[in-house]
Structure 1
Amino acid sequence: MKTYKFLFSGKWAGYFAMALVFAIACVALGNWQMSRRNDVVANIAKITANYSGTPVDYDTVSANFDHLDPTKEWTQVTLKGSYVSADERVVRNRPLNGTPGYEVLVPLKLENGDTVIVDRGWLPIGYKVPGHPDVVPQPEAGIVTVVGRLKPPEPKLDRGAPDGQLASIELNDYAAQLPYAIKTGAYAQLASESPAAASIPVSFPAPSIDEGSHLSYAMQWICFGVLAFVGFGYAARMQRRNDDYDAMEAAESGVPVEEVYGRGSAFQPRQMKKVRKAGTKPTAEEEEDALLDSQGF
């Protein structure tokens, strides 16, 4: 009976190498998905801790408006001062739930002299003047108390914007348009203000805390890697069974295995040839087949 010695052949070593490379690739992709999940889980933990946490005074986190600590994103901050409505800007191309629109940025001059930017909310596209919202609700004049959530500024976009508008929340560009200094390391996304204005932009929804399908994708890739070796083992088992069967047939017919079957493998089934036992007269069909074979048919 045959054994698994064929596994040491060059051909089967190549099959094993292919299975190994495929498995390594699957593990790498699984680790990549796990890394993405870990990032998402860490962000969810940050949102859960900061988004609805107790608001802190501006003085305790003022340095974050110069350089935002990523762990402080979404932290609620209490700001007291007056809006500079004359210097408000509309940020264009800001979809909300799939609907195109704008966001409204307004400088807030604090009682200590610092000026921070407050994103007061979202506005739908306008129909009176193309490229502009129909109405921009104004905040209350005088001293207001604002609770806002810390957000990092956005990258600069390679596109312009009409006067009174910004292409993105890139605070250095905004600062260049103002005659006074503003904090450019972070801005505040409005949560509430008191006294509240009669009309306000649409409030932002809470950020998603859905971690997505990264974990299931990672498990799938790991399973694919394992299946590569399961498939290799199954193919080896089928090769062993084929070899044993071939040996038994050859022993019964008295003809070498290679003459009974075309050469093949577990991945390419052998083609059986008709075999005539020694000492028997060829049949008419066998003589016809031999003639056709000799003529190349």
Structure 2
Amino acid sequence: MLRAAVRPRMIVLLLLLLGAAYACGRLGVWQLDRAQIRGAGAQERHVAEQLAAPPVPILDVLAPQTAFEGDDVGRKVSVTGAYEADEQLLVPDRALDGRTGYLVLTPLRTSDGVLPVVRGWVAQPGAADDPPAGTVAVEGFLQASEQAGSGVADGRTDAISSAELVGTWGGPIWTGYLVLSSSDPAQSADLALLGIPTKPGEGLNIQNLAYAAQWWIFGTFAVLLWLRLVRDEARGDGSDEDDEDLPDEATPPPAPA
């Protein structure tokens, strides 16, 4: 293999194929940049549409104990109920604008069940105030329940998981949670509201991502092609050597002395 690989014509072919692989790699990077640019533009338009859309009653989108569909992420909904302040939880290690703090997670009891509501973000646990008392009308954006964490303890939970919260708050419970955008009556301004939830992978254009993957695959094929040619070249050398070792049938054996 090594002897075949260092032959001048194989080296020239390697250089040509490496150049092709490099070009394919650069084209893949360009398509990835296009995926980010086009995806970001599409996401901005989508967010603007969600913000401008009027809220719909939550039961028109999702009922308690029913499966959360991916298309429901970011849906703007409204719901009326009463907060249960004594059951409020903090979710630590959550980032907002480059800072790490706590989400304030409060159960909203409605006539249909319990809705987990992220009322906002605080930098310190002591900044989490009590929610408005009595009946409140809230609006916000839906997000899917998270995977179960280590459970609820000491007024904290490391995951907004309906499967865990139902053991603490009771049910029936929604399989997603609400990211609060407004409340009537209004809550304390000390809580920083979060942005619109997004699905994983949003912000990238799928078509351009596919083009990028195709270019990188083509570049890989160029390198693999050279390895295949080297292997074939080496096999050809081996066949010639075997033929040289065989006796020539046309040459008669030497006469005995």
Q: Residue 202 of structure 1 corresponds to which residue in structure 2?
A: 191
Q: Residue 116 of structure 1 corresponds to which residue in structure 2?
A: 115
Distance 1:63 1:180, change over 3 A: closer
- Aligned partners of 1:56 and 1:78 also within 8 Å: yes
- Aligned partners of 1:94 and 1:102 also within 8 Å: yes
Distance 2:132 2:76 in 1: 21
Distance 1:64 1:22, change over 3 A: farther
Distance 1:148 1:117 in 2: 12
Deviation at 1:37, TM superposition (A): 4.8
Distance 1:33 1:136, change over 3 A: same
Deviation at 1:45, TM superposition (A): 3.5
- Aligned partners of 1:83 and 1:109 also within 8 Å: yes
Q: Residue 146 of structure 1 corresponds to which residue in structure 2?
A: 138
- Aligned partners of 1:46 and 1:71 also within 8 Å: no
Distance 1:28 1:64 in 2: 44
- Higher-RCO chain (CA-CA 8 Å, sequence separation at least 6): 2
| Letter aligned with residue 109 of structure 1 | R
RMSD after superposition: 3.5
- Aligned partners of 1:139 and 1:196 also within 8 Å: no
* Structure 2: gaps (5+ residues): 1-7, 216-257
Deviation at 1:17, TM superposition (A): 1.4
Matched residues, percent identical?
22
> SS state of the match for residue 103, structure 1?
strand
> Alpha-carbon deviations, 1:26-59, whole Å to 9, x = none?
3334344444555544433332221332111122
Distance 1:44 1:168 in 2: 28
TM-score, scaled to structure 1: 0.56
Distance 1:27 1:53 in 2: 39
Deviation at 1:146, TM superposition (A): 0.8
Counterparts of residues 1-297 of structure 1 (less than 5 Å): 9-37=9-37, 39-63=39-63, 66-111=66-111, 113-125=112-124, 133-157=125-149, 162-184=153-175, 186-197=176-187, 199-206=188-195
| Letter aligned with residue 136 of structure 2 | V
| Letter aligned with residue 71 of structure 2 | T
The aligned length equals 199
Distance 1:161 1:85, change over 3 A: closer
> Alpha-carbon deviations, 1:113-154, whole Å to 9, x = none?
2221111111122xxxxxxx1243112222111111112223
> Alpha-carbon deviations, 1:174-205, whole Å to 9, x = none?
22323333112x111111111224x3542325
Larger Cα Rg: Structure 1 or Structure 2?
A: 1
Q: Which structure: greater strand fraction?
A: 2
TM-score, scaled to structure 2: 0.64
